[in-house]
Amino acid sequence: MKVFSNTETFNYSWEEVSTANWRKYCPWNQKSTHVVAVDTLSRTVDPETGILRTERLITCRQSAPDWLKKMIGGNIEDSHVFETSYVDPRSKTVTMVSSNLTWNNLISVQETVVYRPFNEHQTRFEQTAQITALCGGWQRIKSSIEDTLVKRFHENAVKGKEGFEAVLAMSRRVFAEEREREKMMMLQSQAANIRLAA
């Protein structure tokens, strides 16, 4: 088993980050192009705790090394990930756990991501992934499969941060514009009322 871990700080409030996280893989993010689809499978709010639980299916398309393609055969480029996330509004924590649905008889990838407030204006992102090659056979092969995936995780993490920064910036802009528009509409209707009264 190999472990990949990574920590980042985003200069946005937890509320902004947890909202933008739902559209991390939208066209505003031009870096994480390996994610081709995100589907929501179920979504519930626990009436007792207020925790929002969401199941998503993430579809990835990414080229694989030739030697791995030869070993496994078939369409290795498309893979699916099952993600369950828990938003706890009381402790202000988003926890996302993911596992691979595809090739899980050969490789197990278990990822946990947590977003929590660092302070009022900053949010911490903590990511850990456990990668285990399950196939029997030589340790050397298992080890190189694990190394390849750890490397891939690292590359995607760097791109993921850049892409998410773009989504966060766009989200802030769009929300500000929306607020501005609402304010303008309110002022216009107030002005109209004043004119009517005069």
Partner 1 sequence: MSQSLAPECNEVKERYDTCFLKWYSEKYLRGLGTTDNNECAGLFKEYSKCLQGALKDRGIDKLLDEAREDNKENDAALMGKKK
Residues that bind partner 1 (CB under 8 A): 15, 18-19, 22-23, 25-26, 35-41, 43-53, 55, 57, 59, 80, 82, 84, 86-89, 95, 97, 99, 101-102, 104, 175
Distance (Å, whole) CA 79 – CA 59: 6
**Cα 47 from chain centroid (whole Å):** 25
Cβ within 8 Å of residue 49, ≥6 positions away: 88, 90
Query: Phi and psi of 72, rounded to 5°?
Result: -95, -35
Nearer to partner 1, 38 or 141 (CB): 38
Tokens 């514009």 locate to: 177
Are the CB atoms for 54 and 85 separated by under 8 Å? yes
Which lies closer to partner 1 via its Cβ, residue 39 or residue 162? 39
Q: How far is the CB of 150 from partner 1 (least distance, A)?
A: 22
Using the minimum distance from each CB to partner 1, give the nearer residue, 87 or 168: 87
Residue 20, phi-psi category: left (phi > 0), alpha (psi -120 to 50), beta (remainder)? alpha
Nearer to partner 1, 23 or 159 (CB): 23
Cβ atoms of 100 and 107 within 8 Å: the answer is: yes
CB of residue 52 to partner 1, shortest distance in Å: 6
- Residue placing its CB nearer to partner 1 in the complex, 50 or 154: 50
* C-beta closer to partner 1: residue 82 or 141: 82
- Shortest distance in whole angstroms from residue 29 CB to partner 1: 9
The distance of closest approach from Cβ of residue 142 to partner 1 in the complex, given in angstroms and rounded to an integer, is 21
What's the closest the beta carbon of residue 21 comes to partner 1, in angstroms? 10
Nearest approach, Cβ of 107 to partner 1 (angstroms)? Answer: 14
Residue 124 token pair: 């911490």
Burial of residue 166, with CB atoms counted within 10 A of its CB: 0-12 exposed, 13-18 middle, 19 or more buried = middle
Find the radius of gyration of the CA atoms of the chain. 21
